Amino acid sequence: MTLKRLLSERRAAILEKWRDRVFACYPPETASFLKREADRFSNPVAHRLTEGLKGIYATLLGEAPAAEVTAQLDEVLRIWAVQDFTPSQALAFVFFLKPIIREELAGELKADAGLTAELLDLESRLDGVALLGFDVYMRRREKLSDLKVSEMKARISGLLRRVGVDPSTL
């Protein structure tokens, strides 16, 4: 059996562990809320984080085009770029998946040495995902800076138009 097939079969268990590990980055009271509340609008952070993790996992398995991984990373990182996560903390979640997969598939990996090469390949791809994540995180931080500038302009945009200046050209 290939690693990808195993990962597909054990998707629910692995994703749940990955998600719980990610939620555990928050204070305990918050982590338990993130896990407990199922409504996507009453618990938006948990919903968006979970969607991001699901998407990245599917892309790793080749179920979604590789190009989509940037958008999936953005689901997670656009939240963490404004919360109290440093870049290293924000990107560590990608690496959380490595030990989770190794633990979850410990038996199979022991029994079938052929899976190891596939696992190393997958882990290497995860490293790549983390590097892409750095780009995404930076883009979000740059976006925040842009927003500060555009908001300053918007506050006097009426006045700018009054004196014949198109605010969008500044």
Partner 1 sequence: MSLPKPEELARVNYQPPARGWMEVKPDFRPGTYCNAASPKWLEWIDYPYPRQWSVAEEDWQLPENWKEIVLEGMEDRLARFRSLKLFFDICVRCGACADKCHFFLGTGDPKNMPVLRAELLRSVYKRYFTRIGKALGELVGARDLDEKVIKEWFFYLYQCTICRRCSLFCPYGIDMAEMTLLGREMLASIGINIDWAMASVAQCYDKGSHIGATPQAFKDMIDFLAEENERITGIKTPVSYNRKGAEILFVTPSGDYFADPGTFTLMGYLLLFTYLDLDWTFSTYAAEGGNFGWFVSHEMGKRLNAKIYHEAERLKVKWILGGECGHMWRVCNQYMPTWFGQVPSFLEVPVSPVTGTVFENARVHKMVHISEFTADLLRHNKLKLDPQRNAHIKLTFHDSCNTSRGMGIFEEPRYIIQHVLPEGHFFEMPPNTIREKTFCCGSSSGINANENMELRMQGGFPRANAVRYVHERYGVNHLGCICALDRATLPTLLQYWVPEVEVTGITELVGNALVFEGEIERTTDLRDRDLVGVGEQEGGEEEE
**Distance of alpha carbon 165 from alpha carbon 17, whole angstroms:** 54
Q: Would you count residue 127 as binding partner 1 (CB under 8 A)? A: yes
Task: Kindly tell me which of 1 and 131 has the beta carbon lying closer to partner 1.
Answer: 131
Task: Report residue 24 as tokens.
Answer: 């555990």
Q: Are 102 and 109 in contact (CB under 8 A)?
A: yes
Q: Would you count residue 47 as binding partner 1 (CB under 8 A)? A: yes
Q: Would you count residue 39 as binding partner 1 (CB under 8 A)? A: yes
| DSSP character at residue 26 | S
Q: Would you count residue 65 as binding partner 1 (CB under 8 A)? A: no
Compute and round to an integer the Cα radius of gyration of the chain. Answer: 20
The number of beta carbons lying within 10 Å of the beta carbon of residue 100 is 18
Q: Would you count residue 156 as binding partner 1 (CB under 8 A)? A: yes
Judged by the rule CB under 8 A, the positions of this chain that interact with partner 1 are 24-31, 33-34, 37, 39-45, 47-48, 78-79, 82-84, 88-89, 92, 95-96, 98-99, 127, 130, 143-144, 147-148, 150-152, 154-159, 161-162, 167
